[in-house]
Amino acid sequence: MIPILKSERKQLILDEIKEKKFIQLEEMVQLLETSESTVRRDLDELESEGHLRRVHGGAEVITKLQAEESMQEKSIKNVQAKSEIAKKALSLIEDDDVIFIDAGTTTELLVDMLYQEDLTVVTNSIHHAAKLVEMQFKTIIIGGFVKHSTDASIGKTAVDQISQLNFDKVFMGMNGVDEHFLTTPDIEEAVIKKTIIENAQKAFVLLDASKLGQVSFVKVEQIEKVTLITQRSDGALMKKIKEKTEVIEL
């Protein structure tokens, strides 16, 4: 077989990802009949050029700024990865901690796993709070206007209440993370998340690989302010992120 030129390889990769939205590394190795290291280099270059996003096991198409999905829509996506991320977060919680758990599907899995003694758990999620009370944890629920799509309390009342509290650790989800900022689609929810981070000794952002490289409408905070808990990635974006902040990889 005549070797494929680099430009041709990259175009084939782009054609595949445009059609399928996600491509696996092994799939591209077979299609291009070249080495894994060559495909990895091509994917890294395409990511640095802004054509795709490297994720665990391959790459995916870069989407435009997205509207907030409902909790139901989020709950059926990447369930296994979210469960593993929640388990890693669970290992960071100690007896007697005062923690904040933000609304979200990955954080809900964390709530379900809690077992530590003498925890104080603060949340802005009605759904989380109901579970925590049933599990007999000391629970503080933040009031305010409830956003239907995420089941989260938002608005000035919520911000004021959070500002009066201090947390050992906070655990939150995020819609997008790049090498500079954490982002989310909703302005009021961004203010809530920023306030939570500001009042924590340690802030952890739980996110599966699909959120890496995503950019939503509103900037929440610089990535240096948090520790990311996510899947292992060898992509160029993750290397840039690790230069700026701590990343706990599965």
- The closest of 244, 186, 249, 195 to 221, measured between CA atoms, is 195
Look up residue 147 and give its two tokens. Answer: 């956003």
Reported confidence tier of residue 71, pLDDT bands at 50, 70, 90: low
Q: Check residue 107 and give its pLDDT.
A: 97
pLDDT at 75 over 60: no
Instruction: Determine what percent of the chain is predicted with pLDDT higher than 90.
Output: 66
Most confident residue range from 1-5, 33-37, 82-86, 148-152: 82-86
Higher pLDDT, 170 or 8: 170
User: Quick one: average pLDDT of 43-56?
Assistant: 84
Q: What is the pTM of this model?
A: 0.75
What topology is assigned to 71-249 in CATH? Rossmann fold (3.40.50)
Q: Check residue 17 and give its pLDDT.
A: 86
User: Quick one: average pLDDT of 162-191?
Assistant: 95
Per-domain residue ranges of the chain: 6-61, 71-249
Higher pLDDT, 76 or 191: 191
CATH number of 6-61: 1.10.10.10
Q: Check residue 194 and give its pLDDT.
A: 98
User: Quick one: average pLDDT of 234-249?
Assistant: 91
